């Protein structure tokens, strides 16, 4: 081979020479960006999520508190009814014993009227209840009621406000008092002047007070027993 041909041949590339290339993008940059974005999103979502969770928790607590209060109220009412029923049972036993000792006829009815135990001695198949147990103007009835309340208090340890009726006296008296109250209320509304009523028992005064209140007027009790009475005031 000639020298000219020899110079035309390319020299082989040295295998040990490293090729020049562009530096690749570091993968950590993308990862870091994504992580930063994710953290930002999470941070921006976090307060709202916390607020929603707090509101939900508060609403749940309020609902639970309301349900608990309602449950407690129902429990209190049931407990009160049981207490009144217990008062009625004790009162009935006391009055039955009293009737047996006095050899008097009469059956005992027990009920709950509002926030009181209601006891009634009524006519039985064996005979009528002696009206002398009511007495003049219901004075004997009032005394028997106080004795019965004391008997219940001794047995239960709680002060009783039970109401005792004998031979329908209170029921009849209530009807008469309602009519009396209506007449007095009409007089006060027409004249614009206050009206004083006759002395009454606590039971009778309560009937009048209830009727006056229902008519939109005001009534007051004045004096001391046995002269305590009601004054109806104009609006």
Token pair for 184: 């007095």
Sheet holding 195-196, edge to edge: 195-196, 229-233, 218-222
**Residue 14 has what pLDDT?**
47
Q: What pTM did the predictor assign? A: 0.63
Q: Are residues 66 and 87 in the same domain?
A: yes
The one-character DSSP state at 168 is T
Start-end of H helices in 103-168: 139-156
- For 202, counting Cβ atoms within 10 Å of its Cβ (0-12 exposed, 13-18 middle, 19+ buried), the class is exposed
pLDDT tens track, the chain, 235 positions = 444 444 444 444 444 444 444 444 444 444 444 444 454 454 445 555 656 666 666 665 666 666 666 666 677 788 889 999 999 999 999 999 999 999 999 999 999 988 899 999 999 888 899 999 999 988 999 999 999 999 999 999 999 999 999 999 999 999 999 999 999 999 999 999 999 999 998 889 999 999 999 999 999 999 998 899 999 999 8
Total of domains in the chain? 2
Q: Are residues 149 and 179 in the same domain?
A: no
**Residue 4 has what pLDDT?**
41
Q: What's the CATH number where 119 sits?
A: 3.30.300.20
195 inside domain: yes
Q: Please, are residues 162 and 152 in contact by the beta-carbon 8 Å criterion? A: yes
Angle between helices 139-156 and 27-102 (to 10 degrees): 130
Q: Are residues 186 and 142 in the same domain?
A: no
Token pair for 117: 């135990």
Closest of 225, 83, 212 to residue 142, by C-alpha: 225
Domain's final residue, options 132, 148, 167: 167
Distance CA 97, CA 151 (A): 12
Provide the domain limits for residue 229: 168-235
27 inside domain: no
Q: What's the CATH number where 174 sits?
A: 3.30.1370.50
For the chain, where are the E strands, in sequence order?
Answer: 107-113, 116-122, 163-166, 195-196, 218-222, 229-233
Q: Are residues 86 and 178 in the same domain?
A: no
Q: Are residues 90 and 126 in the same domain?
A: yes
Q: Please, are residues 130 and 104 in contact by the beta-carbon 8 Å criterion? A: yes
Residues, the chain: 235
Distance CA 214, CA 206 (A): 12
**Residue 68 has what pLDDT?**
65
Q: Are residues 63 and 142 in the same domain?
A: yes
Domain's final residue, options 167, 192, 216: 167
Q: Are residues 100 and 115 in the same domain?
A: yes
32 inside domain: no
190 inside domain: yes
């Amino acid at each position: 081979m000639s020298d000219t041909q020899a110079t035309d041949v390319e020299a082989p590339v040295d295998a040990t020479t490293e090729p020049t290339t562009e530096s690749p993008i570091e993968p950590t940059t993308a990862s870091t960006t994504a992580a930063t974005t994710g953290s930002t999103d999470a941070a921006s979502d976090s307060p709202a999520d916390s607020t929603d969770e707090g509101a939900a928790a508060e609403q749940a607590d309020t609902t639970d508190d309301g349900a608990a209060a309602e449950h407690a109220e129902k429990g209190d009412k049931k407990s009160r009814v049981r207490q009144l029923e217990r008062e009625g049972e004790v009162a009935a036993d006391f009055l039955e014993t009293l009737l047996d000792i006095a050899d008097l006829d009469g059956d005992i009815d027990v009920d709950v009227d509002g926030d009181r135990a209601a006891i009634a001695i009524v006519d039985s198949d064996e005979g009528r209840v002696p009206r002398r147990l009511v007495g003049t103007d219901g004075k004997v009835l009032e005394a028997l009621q106080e004795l019965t309340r004391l008997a219940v208090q001794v047995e239960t340890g709680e002060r009783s406000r039970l109401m005792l009726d004998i031979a329908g006296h209170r029921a009849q008296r209530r009807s008469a008092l309602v009519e009396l109250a209506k007449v007095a209320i009409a007089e006060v509304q027409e004249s614009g002047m206050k009206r004083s009523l006759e002395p009454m028992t606590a039971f009778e005064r309560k009937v009048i007070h209830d009727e006056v209140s229902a008519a939109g007027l005001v009534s007051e009790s004045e004096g001391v027993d046995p002269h305590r009475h009601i004054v109806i005031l104009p609006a």
